[in-house]
Chains A and B, each alone.
Chain A
Amino acid sequence: MGFSKLAWMEGKKLFSQRELYIALFLCTVLYVMSLDVLIDSTQPVVFWQEMATVMPYIGYMLIAVIVVVGVSRCMPFEREQEMEELLVTYKGGRVQLLAVKQFFLFLFCVLIVLIYYGIASLVLLAYASPTGLFAQMGESAPNYVNPNPDWIFAKLMLLEGVYMVLASYIFALFVFLLSLFIKRSVFIMLTAGGIFALGELCEKYIFYYIQTMPGIDYLVYGYTYGLNGIMSFEYLEGHVPLSNTEVLLLFLCLAAGLFTLNLLLGRRRIRVALGN
């Protein structure tokens, strides 16, 4: 089976999950409600300004939930369908299968990010006039994820979109890595979701209680530079001494590193399982 056909089959497997649609529905409801709160009805709505704000405000959390749900069952799918032994006999080998799975996860992340930007634009169009939106893209973009006031909305949105895709892909590869060590999808989901939720919990509640702790700075660095920081745009908010291009390059390297690590570990694990 060719690479594209295999990717198509993996896509079908991923989108056949009932859980994904439950999460997508609930997260979308929450997202629309949050957008409604975000918009200040007393001020005129600047479409691109709101579009640039929504993802760092709440969108990243919901994308993280969807990624966790979608990716958790990516590896255990064959085992839960009792066809793992059959896959061992696959002609292309396990490495190719792992590569295809990880490649499809990238498409999945792109799709989810596009869906969420699409929903945001539909909701915001109910508040903002659609006339002059293209002209507005060329205006200066005052936004807290963008320290450079010379940037226009088009450039900012492009950066934000690429950043979100790469960040969610890194998170997806991390969940994939977990799934090499945990057998059941539900526990992969609980572990990955727990790790992400713990980071958010620390940032929003626990750091307040432990302000006086001697090593608190290291914990804050752990949040800023860790998975939560990657997902929540900390790297673009001026807390990290890197330019935007360097941040994107760093993310590409991280994604490539995780991709390779997953291939190596996945290959090693099946050899052990086969007693080789």
Chain B
Amino acid sequence: MLPWEIKKILRNNWGLPAVLAVFGFWSVMIYFAAQKSPAQVLATANSFWHVLGTLSIGFLILAMTAKIFILDKEEGVKEVILTARHGRTKVFLTRLGAAGLCALFMVLLLTAIQLAGAALAVSPGEFTEVVRSCAASLPYVLAGSVLFSIFAACVCAIFQSHTSTVILCGLLYGLTFLLRGKLLTDFSIEWFLEKGFFSYAIRSNEITDEPQLLQLVIWYMILIAGTVLLTRKLQGRRHEL
């Protein structure tokens, strides 16, 4: 069942154009950084996840992985799926697994794009530095992406609407780019809005020096556990489990 769900996610028409667009943007940025100075190339190569990578993975997760949680309804086969032989819980958990795996795959794909772009413009010594920096940030990016894909999946299952999921998760995800500076008092509402919805982890440039990292990890766990439990509860009420 898992390969079937993964196939459904990857069959989405928006994946390839989005990845090609990221590749195009990244090439342009690296090329023009190379026109300035080698130091600029290195800085640009290390900054992939700060803006471009974060926005790309957010888009891919919302457009592709979250969609399988509404696909049954859109294709008019929801009632058939609800009669699943091994139980609806298994269907839900398999889909969560598929969403997580696809998010993992997308992160690796985008990392490959980052390294490919960097390899074309930096010297071998500098490339090793880029790889080291990339490896240091990869655990945060992977964890953030997988958690965000699960969060988006649960929101989609709760609202039974892809549009609502895109708006809600998209705005919460994008807040990290909008809330800066004066707003950041530890554990204030603004702090949670800026750092609490996974994009802060995926950006990975500040989380490595985050003094409240443990508290942030606990918050992520609470958020994910709470969302999954709420989804199960609501699905139970709607007789979908």
Contacts and interface: CB of A to CB of B under 8 A. Distances in A.
Contacts of B175: 30
B171 A185 contact: no
Contacts of A193: 170
Interface in A145-181: none
A201 B163 contact: no
B7 to A, nearest CB: 20
Interface string A173-207: 00000000000011101100110010001000110
Interface string B97-108: 000000000000
Nearest to A23: B167
A201 B51 contact: yes
A189 B164 CA distance: 11
B162 A186 contact: yes
B44 A72 contact: no
A26 interface: yes
A92 B51 CA distance: 49
Given A37-B182, A73-B163, A206-B29, A27 B171 contact: yes
A172 B63 CA distance: 22
Contacts of A73: 163
In this complex, the interface size class of chain B, counting residues with CB under 8 Å from chain A, is 20 to 34
Interface string B52-81: 000100010011000000000000000000
A212 interface: yes
B163 A33 contact: no
Interface stretch (B32-40, B121-129, B208-216): B32-40
B167 A212 contact: no
Given A26-B172, A37-B182, A194-B59, A18 B29 contact: no
A187 B66 CA distance: 13
Secondary structure dominating the interface of A: helix
Contacts of B29: 206, 209-210
A34 B28 CA distance: 33
Contacts of A26: 167-168, 171-172
B14 A187 contact: yes
A23 B171 contact: yes
A65 interface: yes
Interface residues of A, number: 31
A37 B164 CA distance: 28
A212 B35 contact: yes
Contact of A19 (B32, B63, B167): B167
A73 B166 CA distance: 13
Nearest to A68: B167
Contacts of B3: none
B181 A209 contact: no
Interface string A206-217: 100111110000
Contacts of B189: 33
Contacts of A111: none
B164 A19 contact: yes
A22 B168 CA distance: 7
A73 B179 CA distance: 29
Interface string A127-150: 000000000000000000000000
Contacts of A194: 59
A65 B14 contact: no
Contact of A33 (B32, B63, B190): B190
B111 to A, nearest CB: 20
Nearest to A82: B76
A57 to B, nearest CB: 12
Contacts of A7: none
Contacts of A58: 178
A75 interface: no
Interface of A: 18-19, 22-23, 26-27, 30, 33-34, 37, 58, 65, 69, 72-73, 185-187, 189-190, 193-194, 197, 201, 205-206, 209-213
Given A19-B163, A34-B178, A37-B181, 5 more contacts: A19-B167, A22-B164, A26-B171, A193-B170, A213-B32
14 contacts: A19-B163, A19-B164, A22-B167, A22-B168, A26-B167, A33-B183, A65-B171, A186-B163, A189-B163, A190-B14, A193-B170, A197-B55, A211-B32, A213-B32
Cβ-closest 10 pairs across A and B: A210-B32, A26-B171, A212-B35, A186-B163, A186-B162, A209-B29, A19-B163, A23-B167, A19-B164, A37-B182
